[in-house]
Amino acid sequence: MNTTKLSTADVRREAVVASAVTMFAGSGYLGTSVAAIAEHAGISQAYVFKLFPSKELLFVTTLEHCFDLVLAALERGAAASPDQSPDAMLYAMGGAYAELIGDRSLLMLQVHAQSAASVPEIGAALRKGLRATTLLAKSRSNACDEAVQRFIAYGQLCHLIVVTGLDHNPPDWASLITAGIRHP
């Protein structure tokens, strides 16, 4: 049992990050104000800036939190796979990821991070998260490079399918890209 007690600042920091996930997922980096995040979190904008001195740092911290959740989901999927073959491991990790992004805010945060990757800090955080995801998929599955590449590519295709609304009753042409793709 973890007996560590969080300070008030730590609790508020977690509340701000949780609110930031929701708000950035809805409006993106450019479309979301720190004031809106503060209001959603129920604290002052000044206190948000005390915790996160810049909007970029807040977005990066939020994106890092998202990737922490992604990595934890992939680990859970790998651990739960009854078959330890590379393909089965990647399949189980993909299923765990699909469940995780059932919370559309995590998926949309990643999509918005891609659109804001020209901001140096955001681009670096996105590459760091993608690196960690790729290396975890490779090390846990022991799959060949091509299989890991396909795993990452299918994850991005899953994002596209969900964001464009092709996940329910796709038109005939879309069945070409949605066939066999698992998503929430």
CB 49 within 8 A of CB 42: no
The per-residue pLDDT for range 64-100, each reduced to its tens digit, is 999 999 999 999 999 999 999 999 999 999 999 989 9
Question: Is the pLDDT reported for residue 184 higher than 60?
Answer: no
Instruction: Please indicate whether residue 33 or residue 171 has the higher confidence score (pLDDT).
Output: 33
Residue 171 φ/ψ region, left for φ over 0, alpha for ψ in the -120 to 50 degree band, beta for the rest: beta
Reported for 65-70, long-range contacts at CB under 8 A and 24+ positions apart, including other chains, are 65/17, 65/21, 66/21, 66/106, 66/109, 66/110, 66/113, 66/129, 67/128, 67/129, 67/132, 67/133, 69/100, 69/106, 70/97, 70/100, 70/106, 70/129, 70/133
CA-to-CA dists, residue 89 to 1, 23, 111, 138, 181, angstroms: 30, 33, 25, 10, 16
pTM across the whole model: 0.90
- Least confident range from 46-55, 98-107, 121-130, 175-184: namely 175-184
In degrees, rounded to 5, the angle at the alpha carbon of residue 58 between the alpha carbons of residues 149 and 69 is: 40
The predicted structure's pLDDT at residue 50: 96
The predicted structure's pLDDT at residue 183: 58
The predicted structure's pLDDT at residue 123: 97
Question: Is the pLDDT reported for residue 40 higher than 80?
Answer: yes
Question: Is the pLDDT reported for residue 129 higher than 80?
Answer: yes
Share of the chain above pLDDT 70, in %: 95
* 147-157 burial code (b ≥16 CB/10 A, e <16): bbeebbebbee
Q: How far apart are CA 17 and CA 48, in angstroms?
A: 10
The predicted structure's pLDDT at residue 180: 80
Q: Which residues contact 97 (CB under 8 A, 6 or more apart)?
A: 70, 73, 74, 77, 155
In degrees, rounded to 5, the angle at the alpha carbon of residue 98 between the alpha carbons of residues 95 and 100 is: 110
Question: Is the pLDDT reported for residue 166 higher than 90?
Answer: no
Q: Which amino acid is at 88?
A: A
The predicted structure's pLDDT at residue 2: 54
The predicted structure's pLDDT at residue 6: 55
Domains and CATH numbers, the chain: 8-178 (1.10.357.10)
